[in-house]
């Protein structure tokens, strides 16, 4: 079980226990996660295909949506197949380095998801507050650079997680009471001092989550001011209706994220551990599942694109910022 370097007490593999206390119900727990994963993969891949093939959707708002879809489907794919193997086949072992890799991708992609939501808020701000300059401000090179910056921010901030976790001694065993390798869940298995891990994890949460939420809040404050200043009620409704899908995506993403973050650090023993695990999985799976549905229902051009793809009809796309 242990690596060749006995002084470092590094295990060859960890054992992911799934949902502690609910082992008998693993099959039943797996079913909604399985169907949500199928919906997430089909929905997000469908969105990416639609945006890439429909010329009418080759606009900044939809480019950011395609980036969000790619991030979402990659995020849930890093955890759900392994989780289903635990639930269905009792395959609980995961190689130590594979665990660190999964941990890196989970946290990097959740950080990137938050960053893309922030970019989408800025997109709505430019579209509503500067409609005549929208196409000249958000050019393809600007969008590409913004996406790359969001990706690099996640990579640079999350890479230290792997080194901080790898340096810890694991003399208490190799059982992780979780369905995937989360940073603090792995660190808590260690018999060493993981205070640095906890402090750095909090710093990353502030640098990514709080910064993005502040940018989103500021963007919507400016949007609200611009919408309220419009003289026509129809114009106000039309302007704000372009934001409803994004607001839904923000709520779907950040509510389980905040619950997971605060209960993990401050919930202590007041909330059952299996609730922590289930909500942590919903945090990774709910946004990828719901975002394609929300945007498909709320966004007229995407609805028209889906109808055109399914029925082969020639649909006239309406142009809205």
pLDDT the model gives residue 63: 96
The answer to whether position 5 is within a domain reads no
The answer to whether position 9 is within a domain reads no
Please count the structural domains in the chain.
Answer: 1
The answer to whether position 12 is within a domain reads no
The answer to whether position 319 is within a domain reads no
φ/ψ region of 30 (left if φ > 0, alpha if ψ in -120 to 50, else beta) reads: alpha
- Contact, 84 vs 33, CB < 8 A? yes
pLDDT the model gives residue 313: 59
- Contact, 175 vs 15, CB < 8 A? yes
The answer to whether position 315 is within a domain reads no
Containing structural domain, residue 89 = 17-308
The residues, any chain, with a CB within 8 Å of residue 71's CB and separated by 6 or more, are: 109, 112, 113, 116
Q: Which of 166, 176, 187, 11 is nearest to 86 (CA)?
A: 176
The answer to whether position 320 is within a domain reads no
For the question of whether the overall pTM of this predicted structure is more than 0.85, the answer is yes
Domain containing 228 — which CATH number?
A: 1.20.1070.10
The answer to whether position 2 is within a domain reads no
Burial of 195 (0-12, 13-18, 19+ CB in 10 A): exposed
Q: Could you state, in chain order, the average pLDDT of each consecutive group of 10 residues for the chain (321 residues)?
A: 53 92 92 97 95 91 96 96 96 96 97 97 95 94 97 97 94 90 92 91 92 96 91 82 91 88 68 87 94 91 84 59 55
The answer to whether position 8 is within a domain reads no
């Amino acid at each position: 079980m242990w690596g060749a370097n006995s002084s470092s007490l590094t295990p060859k593999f960890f054992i992911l226990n799934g949902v502690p206390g609910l082992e008998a119900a693993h099959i039943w727990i797996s079913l909604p996660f399985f169907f949500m994963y199928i919906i997430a993969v089909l929905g997000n891949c469908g969105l990416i295909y639609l945006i890439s093939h429909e010329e009418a959707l080759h606009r900044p708002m939809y480019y950011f949506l395609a980036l969000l879809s790619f991030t979402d489907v990659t995020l849930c794919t890093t955890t759900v197949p392994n989780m289903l193997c635990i639930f269905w086949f009792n395959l609980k072992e995961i190689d130590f380095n594979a665990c660190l890799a999964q941990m890196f991708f989970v946290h990097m992609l959740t950080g990137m998801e938050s960053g893309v939501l922030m970019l989408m808020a800025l997109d709505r701000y430019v579209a509503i507050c500067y409609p005549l300059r929208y196409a000249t401000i958000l050019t393809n090179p600007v969008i590409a650079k913004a996406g790359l910056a969001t990706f690099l921010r996640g990579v640079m901030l999350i890479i230290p997680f792997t080194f901080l976790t790898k340096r810890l001694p694991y003399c208490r065993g190799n059982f992780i009471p979780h369905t995937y390798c989360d940073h603090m869940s792995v660190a808590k298995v260690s018999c060493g001092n993981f205070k640095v891990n906890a402090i750095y994890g909090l710093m990353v949460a502030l640098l990514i989550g709080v910064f993005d939420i502040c940018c989103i809040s500021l963007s919507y404050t400016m949007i609200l001011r611009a919408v309220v200043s419009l003289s026509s009620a129809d114009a106000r409704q039309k302007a704000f209706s372009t934001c409803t899908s994004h607001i839904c995506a923000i709520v779907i993403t950040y509510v389980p994220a905040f619950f997971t973050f605060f209960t993990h650090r401050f919930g202590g023993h007041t909330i059952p551990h299996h609730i922590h695990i289930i909500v942590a999985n919903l945090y990774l799976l709910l946004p990828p599942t719901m975002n394609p549905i929300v945007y498909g229902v709320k966004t007229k051009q995407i609805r028209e694109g889906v109808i055109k793809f399914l029925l082969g009809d020639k649909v006239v796309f309406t142009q809205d910022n």
